[in-house]
Amino acid sequence: MAALRQNYLTAKHVHQGRALAVVKANAYGHGAVTCAQALADSADGFAVALMSEALELRQAGITRPILVLEGCFDVQELQDSFANSIWVAVHQGSQINMFAGCDLPSASIHVWLKVDSGMHRAGFPLSEVSDAYARLAACPAVASITLMSHFARADEPDEAATAEQIEAFELATQHLPGARSLCNSAGVLAWPSAKRDWARPGILLYGANPLPASYLEQHPEHKLLPVMCLQSEVFAVKTLQPGEALGYGGTFIAEQPTRVGLVALGYADGYPRSAPTGTPVAIDGQPSRLIGRVSMDMLNVDLTSLPEAGIGSRVELWGPQIDINTVAQCANTIAYELLCNVKRVQRIYTGK
């Protein structure tokens, strides 16, 4: 949790403005309530995807502002937002209609109006932003309107699409009052021209790099600390002879006598089945590799060059020594998915 707090402060320092800590999807697999509690004294507020996630935080005693990024799905959720002082995004006309037809006290809900500046997922088209803003402003229940957008390719620092989105957002909102919010994690770290009143850091809070490794090597001041260490231990050891195959599908065939450690963790725990032989691991702090196919409850590691390792040896799958982005790249996925998929494992929190 100390690493989580430090990463949040890094985002604040780089962005030089207020920041909502994004704790949606159970804080990207880290535990939303525990993470929000750890940030409760430092975060300007929080952001989640769904109203149910916001209510969980309120019920756990989180009092800071909470923004629901997908907004209200029905009138009941709109009433919940009022009853629990929850901010909501509005990204389509039906949500404005809910506000227009609701019977809530005047100036009771803070709204974030989402502009589609080029991602073409959620948000009002540029040509409709002014009208949507005017309709919202006319709703008595609306207390304030913050203008927001979301980047599609901010994790590609050399790609022009983000600069184009910033320009499109500015043109569509230039005559509209209110605070602004553009930066996701990659925006905070790589796009100073996108700095506005609010940032919305997500993946960077958990120490996973949203940008190419080469970029952060050039910007050591943006150093992130891994929050999660996924680890298990060796519970059995055997030696393969040359020519012997290992595990399902026989995808690994020993070319020399190979000492194998069987580790109590598999894809049912969230480690990717697609991780191939050669994916890095650390065993008792020493570098090694995954060998063979990942099973539901077990995986295999190479102990050949580690004669001191054996039953009970600690195995780090990702964390301070093994960069989760490297594991994700080996498995042909992204760190976000790996973190969100972690389950069944025992969770131990330190530095609360």
Distance CA 239, CA 227 (A): 35
Q: Which of 141, 149, 144, 125 is nearest to 75 (CA)?
A: 141
Out of 12, 24, 114, 215, pick the active-site residue.
24
Out of 223, 238, 248, 343, pick the active-site residue.
248
Which residue bears the tokens 């490297």? Answer: 326
Active site residue 223: no
116 close to 125: Cβ distance less than 8 angstroms: yes
Active site residue 352: no
Catalytic machinery residues: 24, 248
